[in-house]
């Protein structure tokens, strides 16, 4: 049974990228999916950090946000 907070993600990937993911996952004794989820999770954290930093800088400069326009 699939957990309700999980969704399927499919798509074509460059062979070289998948070869590296397979090698690293084999060396770490984890599945390809576990490694990809780890990589995506880190990337998402980084993007949220960037977004928060941008919002902080823009608030500090007194720029008008979408919420302020109402």
Q: What is the pLDDT of residue 60?
A: 84
**Whole-number percent of the chain with pLDDT over 70:** 86
Overall number of domains in the chain: 1
Mean pLDDT of the chain: 90
Q: What is the pTM of this model?
A: 0.74
Domain range spanning residue 53? 16-63
Dump pLDDT digits (tens) for 6-64: 999 999 999 999 999 999 999 999 999 999 999 999 999 999 999 999 999 998 887 65
Alpha-carbon distance 44 to 46, whole Å? 5
With respect to residue 26, please indicate whether it lies within any of the assigned structural domains: yes
Whether residue 9 is contained in a domain is answered as no
pLDDT at 67: 65
Residue 68 maps to a domain: no
DSSP single-letter state for residue 29: T
Please check whether residue 24 lies inside any domain of the structure. yes
CA diameter of the chain: 54
Predicted confidence (pLDDT) at residue 3 exceeds the cutoff of 90: no
């Amino acid at each position: 049974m699939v957990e309700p907070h999980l969704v399927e993600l499919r798509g074509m990937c460059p062979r070289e990228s998948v070869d590296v993911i397979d090698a690293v996952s084999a060396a770490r004794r984890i599945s390809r999916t576990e490694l990809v989820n780890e990589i995506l999770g880190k990337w998402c954290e980084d993007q949220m950090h960037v977004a928060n930093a941008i919002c902080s800088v823009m608030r500090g400069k007194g720029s008008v946000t979408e919420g302020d326009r109402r």
